[in-house]
Amino acid sequence: MMPAKQTSLLGDHPKAHACGGGDCGGHQQPPPPGVDYGSGRDGMGGGGGMGMGVGMGNQVGPQGGTQGQHVQAMMNQQADNKVLIVYDLDAERFNCDRVFNILCLFGDVEKVKFLKSKPGAAMVEMGDQYAVHRAVFHLNMSQIFGNKINLCVSRQRSIVPGQAFELPDGTDSYRDYAGSHNHRYADSEKAAKNRNQRPTAVLHFFNAPTDITAEMFAQLCDEMSIARPRSFKVFSGKTDRSVSGLMEWETKNDAMEALACINHHPLKNANVPYLYTLKLCFSTAQSS
């Protein structure tokens, strides 16, 4: 009996973009440093990912040696790559900031570049290869704006800006986030505060103004044309500076849309002259 196919750590290349054949090798947990794993390879010109088959036995490869040895060599070359590709994004709803907003939970996002030749595909350069591992492991095949997004490692090792074009919402197709104040892995202290997990219907919010209300969040979601949260809770023991709490949506898809659209959204407090930068992440709290 053939074993059940596992979800690939580095993402199966979507069939619509396949440039060869074979499935990615799968791991149920992110591999520690030094462990070999399957990776994406592209034949797109702009840099993408193509599923590389593993377990090919001893077929002779084109350069001598076995096919398995050649595949293993390509895997090893990708082990320290910090560039990934996201496919099947809603081209009408996504921009660079929204890609940043969902990937920043798993590592520092340095650059985002949409591919003109592949609508709905974006290259993302992360802070290191471990951020790529975390992002692909936790987000691959998650649903947002009704699409299941596909993440895999790019064969390109860095993003070259090139000439930007205009996305449907009027923003540029490329953005550099090297100096962003919203990095969550900038140092070991910040990195230790992150709790990596797969998408849930519950989001933890923090750094919100002290006068935040459920109605304020509902209005913000209406402005973004996304679903309102069905429940809202502020944690007790709030400080004089900011508050935190939980919001729950009907589905994981709705929570993902909120993460993309309102994570890092500036919020006002009537009692202070400065803006708050709202921050969101997936919560370990159980859905009601």
* Per-position pLDDT tens, the chain of length 288: 444 444 433 344 444 443 333 233 333 334 434 333 333 334 333 444 433 333 333 344 444 555 555 545 545 556 789 999 999 999 999 999 999 999 999 999 999 999 999 999 999 999 999 999 999 999 999 999 999 999 999 999 999 998 999 999 999 999 999 999 999 999 999 999 999 999 999 999 999 999 999 999 999 999 999 999 999 999 987 567 899 999 999 999 999 999 999 999 999 987 888 899 999 999 988 766
Long-range contacts of 131-136, Cβ-Cβ distance < 8 Å, separation of 24 or more:
131/82, 131/106, 131/107, 131/185, 132/81, 132/82, 132/83, 132/84, 132/107, 133/9, 133/30, 133/31, 134/30, 134/106, 134/107, 134/196, 135/84, 135/103, 135/106, 135/107, 136/9, 136/10, 136/11, 136/84
pLDDT reported for residue 65: 55
For 120, other C-beta atoms within 10 Å of its C-beta total 17
Going by C-alpha positions, the residue among 28, 10, 139, 25 that lies closest to residue 81 is 10
pLDDT reported for residue 14: 43
- Whether residue 281 contacts residue 105, with contact meaning beta carbons closer than 8 Å, is answered with yes
Residue ranges, CATH 3.30.70.330, the chain: 15-188, 199-282
pTM over 0.85: no
Fold designation for 15-188: Alpha-Beta Plaits (3.30.70)
C-alpha separations of 212 from 205, 206, 207, 258 in Å: 11, 11, 10, 16
pLDDT reported for residue 271: 80
Burial class of residue 53 in the structure, from the number of CB atoms within 10 Å of its CB (0-12 exposed, 13-18 middle, 19+ buried): middle
pLDDT reported for residue 32: 38
CATH 3.30.70.330 fits 199-282, yes or no: yes
- Whether residue 157 contacts residue 80, with contact meaning beta carbons closer than 8 Å, is answered with no
pLDDT reported for residue 81: 94
pLDDT reported for residue 16: 45
pLDDT reported for residue 68: 54
